[in-house]
Copies of this chain bind each other. A is one copy, B any other.
Amino acid sequence: MKIAVLGYGNIGNGVVRIVDELSAELKARAGEKIEVKYVLDLRDFPGDPYESLLTHDVNDILNDPEVTLVVETMGGTGAAYKFVKAALEVGKSAVSSNKALVAKYGSELLAIAREKKINFQFEASVGGAIPIIRPLYACMTGTRINKIAGIMNGTTNYMLTKMDKEGLDYAEVLKEAQRLGYAEADPTADVEGFDTCRKIAILSSIACGKFVDFEDIPTTGITNVTKEDISLAKEFGMSIKLIGYSDFTDEGIVSEVAPKLVAPESPLYAVSDVFNAIMVSGDMSGDLMFYGSGAGKLPTASAVVADIVECAKNAGRTVYEGWADEKVSLVSPKSRESRFFVRFDASLAAKAGIDVKICGGSAAFITGPTTYDACEAKYKDLSPVIIGLL
């Protein structure tokens, strides 16, 4: 099987390397030799060991009947969308690591793949190396899925862990994360929860079989989480994690991205540093958790390569047909019952009229079961930051 890799960044290079280095293993697993025939990038890479594969023109790939699969590792929803759609339309399967593409155009691209009896796969778009997409559609078919909740962004998990362990402020850990290359120069997508939002949208679409639009998911990042929040949470025996979740209830799907207090009973409680973990609860299966490197060049590339192998083994047959192109209306999380961590200025502690814990200039307590809306109304005089319990 000849393939083309679109985008020769970190992940693209990882894919080319693994296909080369694991050549013999992949041949045995896929039943045929897998070979990268083209690498598409606008840039030149003089001296690169795979320089001879480089092309600047996507038509070299689209017009070459020998190429039966394209790998999209460009990112974004511009050229990535255009090229993947074009490839699928001429009957080439596609594998993508790009959550933005899948979250926005997944319905359409899956429909084309179905129609052409080819494959559009994207295991690497959520959780990096962690198998989660295939387990959802191929391993958890003997259960109803009640809930998905996960730590799906390594950057923010690294930052929250660092704030916890070293008692540092948000701004300090962000700088450190940027220095180490864990956070980008513009960290918005990570710290504002946009990355997690796209990922939980994808998993939710798979789980419910309909289109969950990431734009409908209420999303709060970690920019307002203070080191005092983390210390106070710890006093209540909990950790703070940026969680993307969907509850599949009789009233509909409740989906949200937000920092949450996580109790030690949850397997997500101790997931730290850049690791990701996704919990899936089923009525028959109970709670399952999938844990591992959520990002990184080779881990992510290894998931892309697993998709390539799957496509090779299933020529002429759509393995995962995808979700219906029918958009789901989501239920607001604000009207659902939960318990809440309420943090406010310590000077107002007396006014709260409730036992509070104090850390630095902040005070906090945890409510009994109530809704976010009711909690906000009840304590509005405290101008609090309110964080739900997972």
Point out residues on A near B: beta carbons under 8 Å.
14, 18, 22, 25-26, 28-30, 123, 129-131, 134-135, 138-144, 209, 267, 270, 282, 284-293, 296, 298-299, 301-310
A-B pairs with beta carbons under 8 Å apart, 21 shown: A14-B284, A22-B143, A22-B284, A28-B209, A129-B286, A129-B288, A131-B140, A131-B288, A134-B134, A135-B135, A138-B138, A141-B309, A141-B310, A142-B304, A142-B306, A285-B303, A286-B293, A289-B289, A289-B290, A289-B291, A289-B292
Task: Write out the residue numbers on chain B whose beta carbons fall within 8 Å of the beta carbon of A130.
Answer: 288
Q: In the assembled complex, how far is the CB of residue A15 from the closest CB belonging to chain B, in whole angstroms?
A: 9
Residue of B nearest to A279 (CB): B291
Residue of B nearest to A30 (CB): B141
Task: Write out the residue numbers on chain B whose beta carbons fall within 8 Å of the beta carbon of A292.
Answer: 285-289
In the complex with contacts A139-B134, A139-B135, A302-B289 CB distance below 8 A: no
Cα–Cα distance between A135 and B137 once the two chains are bound (Å) = 12
Q: In the assembled complex, how far is the CB of residue A210 from the closest CB belonging to chain B, in whole angstroms?
A: 12
Task: Write out the residue numbers on chain B whose beta carbons fall within 8 Å of the beta carbon of A288.
Answer: 129-131, 290-293
Task: Write out the residue numbers on chain B whose beta carbons fall within 8 Å of the beta carbon of A298.
Answer: 284-286
Cα–Cα distance between A103 and B139 once the two chains are bound (Å) = 21
Query: In the bound complex, do residue A302 and residue B135 qualify as a contact, i.e. CB atoms below 8 Å apart?
Result: no
Q: In the assembled complex, how far is the CB of residue A303 from the closest CB belonging to chain B, in whole angstroms?
A: 6
In the complex with contacts A130-B288, A302-B285, A309-B142 CB distance below 8 A: yes
Report the copy number of this chain in the oligomer. Answer: 2
Chain B CB within 10 Å — which of A26, A288, A293 has the most?
A288
Query: In the bound complex, do residue B140 and residue A306 qualify as a contact, i.e. CB atoms below 8 Å apart?
Result: yes
Cα–Cα distance between A100 and B57 once the two chains are bound (Å) = 56
Query: In the bound complex, do residue A310 and residue B138 qualify as a contact, i.e. CB atoms below 8 Å apart?
Result: yes
Q: In the assembled complex, how far is the CB of residue A340 from the closest CB belonging to chain B, in whole angstroms?
A: 26
Cα–Cα distance between A29 and B14 once the two chains are bound (Å) = 34
Task: Write out the residue numbers on chain B whose beta carbons fall within 8 Å of the beta carbon of A270.
Answer: 270
Residue of B nearest to A298 (CB): B284
Residue of B nearest to A29 (CB): B141
In the complex with contacts A284-B301, A302-B282, A291-B293 CB distance below 8 A: no
In the complex with contacts A29-B141, A138-B134, A284-B302 CB distance below 8 A: yes
Query: In the bound complex, do residue A293 and residue B302 qualify as a contact, i.e. CB atoms below 8 Å apart?
Result: no
Supplied contacts A129-B286, A287-B293, 13 more A-B pairs, CB within 8 Å: A18-B284, A25-B144, A28-B209, A30-B141, A134-B138, A140-B302, A142-B309, A284-B305, A285-B298, A286-B292, A286-B296, A288-B290, A289-B289
Per CB-CB distance, the 4 closest pairs between chain A and chain B, nearest first, are A142-B305, A131-B139, A284-B302, A142-B302
Task: Write out the residue numbers on chain B whose beta carbons fall within 8 Å of the beta carbon of A28.
Answer: 209
Query: In the bound complex, do residue B289 and residue A142 qualify as a contact, i.e. CB atoms below 8 Å apart?
Result: no
Chain B CB within 10 Å — which of A129, A135, A142, A310 has the most?
A142
Chain B CB within 10 Å — which of A28, A144, A282, A302 has the most?
A302
Task: Write out the residue numbers on chain B whose beta carbons fall within 8 Å of the beta carbon of A299.
Answer: 284-286
Residue of B nearest to A309 (CB): B141
Residue of B nearest to A25 (CB): B144
Query: In the bound complex, do residue B129 and residue A131 qualify as a contact, i.e. CB atoms below 8 Å apart?
Result: no
Task: Write out the residue numbers on chain B whose beta carbons fall within 8 Å of the beta carbon of A25.
Answer: 144
Query: Which among B129, B285, B303, B305 is the interface contact of A129 at CB below 8 angstroms?
Result: B285
